[in-house]
Amino acid sequence: MTYRVCFVCTGNICRSPMAESVFRARVEEAGLDDLVEVDSAGTGGWHEGDGADPRTVAVLEENGYGSEHTARQFQPSWFSRLDLVVALDTGHLKALRRLAPTPEDAAKIRLLRSYDPAADDDLDVPDPYYGGMDGFQQCLEMVEAASPGLLAAVREHMEGRAA
C-alpha cells in the first residue's frame, strides 16, 4: 500500500518543490520509492502551471537533486488520499487546517522542521522568494536537516500500518 506525502508552501515554486525533490531523493536512497509517493502543492494558485523558481532549480541542481516540477494549488479533496501533509511554515499549517474536511484530515498535517531534532523553537522554513541565493541555500539546509527524521516517521507509520 502506497504511503503518500505532500509538501505545501505558498505558491509551490520555492520551498515545497525543494522539499519534494530532497525527500524523494531520501526515499529513493532508502529503497522505498515503490512504497512512498512524494508530491507538493501551494496554498494559493498564483503560479499554477509554472515551473519552480529558477533559484530553487539552481540550488537543487548544484546539490545533486532533480528539479522537474509544475506548480499547482492544494485541494481539500486531496486529504482523503494523502497520509501526511507537510507544511513549510505555520501560516501554511493554519491554512491547511482550515481546509481539512475532518479532524482526522487535520491530524495529517505537520510542520517540516518538527522532524529536525536540532531545530529551535521557530519551526518555520523562511520564504526565500524575495531575497537572494543565500535564502534558497538556507532553505535547502533546513529541508535536508529535517528529511532523515521525516523518513524515520514515514517508515514507522508504514510499519504500523502493515502490522
| Annotated catalytic residue within 9, 53, 110, 113 | 9
Q: What is the pLDDT of residues 14-44, one digit of tens each?
A: 999 999 999 999 999 999 999 999 999 999 9
Active-site annotation holds for 98 = no
Residue 163 pLDDT = 65
Q: What is the pLDDT of residues 67-91, one digit of tens each?
A: 999 999 999 999 999 999 999 999 9
Active-site annotation holds for 127 = yes
CATH number at residue 87: 3.40.50.2300
Residue 70 CB neighbours (<10 A): 14
Q: What is the 3-state secondary structure (H, E, C) of 69-131?
A: CCCCECCHHHHHHCCEEEECCHHHHHHHHHHCCCHHHHCCEEEHHHHCCCCCCCCCCCCCCCC
What torsion do the CA atoms of 108, 113, 120, 137 make, to the nearest 10 degrees?
-160
What value does the mean pLDDT take over residues 45-64? 97
What proportion of the chain, given as a percentage, has pLDDT over 90? 97
Domain of residue 9 covers 3-162
Q: How far is it, in rounded angstroms, from Cα 131 to Cα 27? A: 30
The answer to whether the pTM exceeds 0.75 is yes
What value does the mean pLDDT take over residues 45-68? 97
| Annotated catalytic residue within 72, 83, 127, 155 | 127
Active-site annotation holds for 81 = no
Q: Cβ neighbours of residue 25 under 8 Å, at least 6 residues apart?
A: 64, 65, 66
Tell me the average pLDDT of the chain: 97
Band the pLDDT of 141: cuts 50, 70, 90.
Answer: very high
| Domains held by the chain: number | 1
Residue type, 93: L
| Annotated catalytic residue within 6, 15, 89, 124 | 15
What value does the mean pLDDT take over residues 131-147? 98
